[in-house]
Chains A and B, each alone.
Chain A
């Protein structure tokens, strides 16, 4: 069966510090992978999309970047966090219709 792991669950980071959130998928090959963010009072915003190793598409200009070093690994990074980067970050995978989400990371930038 397919599973998706996302960590850490919560993270408190100072402004200006780096960020690395990791997501791994098991039980499937060559999935489409996504990073979403849910900011307070807002819906789910698509940040990055990947169809394969090293292939990253960004939906919105921002302080974040993503990488896919392996087929089932998706990493969200930042060199210097901003206060506005606070939110709930979700990794998801899909093969066609319907998405399976990870459990999310609550990031608080202080």
Chain B
């Protein structure tokens, strides 16, 4: 049973436009959500996070939106740049941090920024 779902394996966006990556979750116990960015042959790096008490968190070109009632979150990147081409993982954590369960990750979305 996949508790964090990223239904788009890949997404192609033109440089300068907005990239929107989506993530759905099923476990209502999750209360903290994170996005990680991963380049080939490298470990994931933390990008942005959001607590369940918020519905939006912004950091520069990156904004994460959380819709708790729909159990849905999205990552917006605007404007998209060539260096944004990477695999993006959505992750969710229960209260208190990952603990024994660790973070639960989606399968990732490969974002490709077209020049």
Binding site for B on A (CB under 8 A): 6, 9-10, 32, 34, 36, 41-44, 46, 49, 51, 57, 59, 88, 90, 92, 94-104, 106
Contacts and interface: CB of A to CB of B under 8 A. Distances in A.
Interface string B77-115: 000000000000101010011111111011110000000
B41 A46 contact: no
Contact of B102 (A9, A59, A88): A59
A67 to B, nearest CB: 17
Interface residues of B, number: 27
A34 B41 contact: no
25 contacts: A6-B43, A9-B41, A10-B41, A32-B98, A36-B102, A41-B107, A43-B6, A43-B107, A43-B108, A46-B101, A46-B102, A46-B103, A51-B100, A94-B97, A94-B98, A95-B97, A96-B96, A96-B97, A97-B49, A97-B97, A98-B34, A99-B102, A101-B36, A101-B44, A106-B41
Interface of B: 4, 6, 32, 34, 36, 41-46, 49, 89, 91, 93, 96-103, 105-108
B45 A57 contact: no
Contacts of B49: 97-98
B97 to A, nearest CB: 4
A101 B42 CA distance: 9
Contacts of B106: 43
A98 B34 CA distance: 7
Nearest to B41: A106
Contacts of B103: 44, 46, 99
B105 A43 contact: yes
A92 B93 CA distance: 15
Contacts of A97: 32, 34, 49, 93, 97-98
Contacts of B102: 34, 36, 46, 49, 59, 99
